[in-house]
Amino acid sequence: MPVYEYQCESCDHRYSALVSIKDSEELPQCPRCGAEDVHKLVSSVSVVRSEAQKDGDRSKSLTQIDPKKPQEVAKYFRDHGSRFGEDDFRGTKEWHDAVDRVAEGGPTLDE
Ligand SMILES: [Zn+2]
């Protein structure tokens, strides 16, 4: 399923959500304030780097990424990994390089 980006009209919170094709015109309510007054962003996940996004949204967003799509997972970590503390996220430079490559549609680590 495609990942769409949304922005809340009420609190400006940006978030992503996996939405099936048939539901793509339905807007998921804001996970922060619950407002239904949101709009879909044209931009892709890769350009969204909102500092306003709370860490509490991190795990929620991660579960919305399809693990079968390495590119989506890589994009997520590329965009959000910098906010992971050293204690729970110890990516090496090589690892980050690999993430960037996969996020751009390159081969995965298994290939
Ligand atoms: Zn909101």
* Structure-derived torsion over alpha carbons of residues 85, 90, 94, 98, reported in degrees to the nearest 10: -70
For residue 19, the CA-to-ligand 1 centroid distance in Å is 18
| The total number of residues written for the chain in this structure | 111
The pLDDT profile of the chain, 111 residues, written as one tens digit per residue, is: 678 889 999 999 999 888 776 766 778 899 999 999 999 886 544 444 454 455 545 555 666 777 777 787 777 777 766 555 444 455 677 777 877 888 888 776 565
Distance 5 CA to ligand 1 centre (A): 13
Tell me which H or E stretch contains 59: helix 56-63
Residue 47 DSSP symbol: G
CA of 86 to the centre of ligand 1 (A): 29
Question: Where along the chain do its domains lie?
Answer: 3-103
| Centre of ligand 1 from the C-alpha of residue 36, in Å | 8
Q: Is 45 exposed, middle or buried (0-12, 13-18, 19+ CB in 10 A)?
A: buried
Separation of alpha carbons 111 and 108, rounded Å: 5
Question: How much distance in Å is there from the Cα of 12 to the middle of ligand 1?
Answer: 6
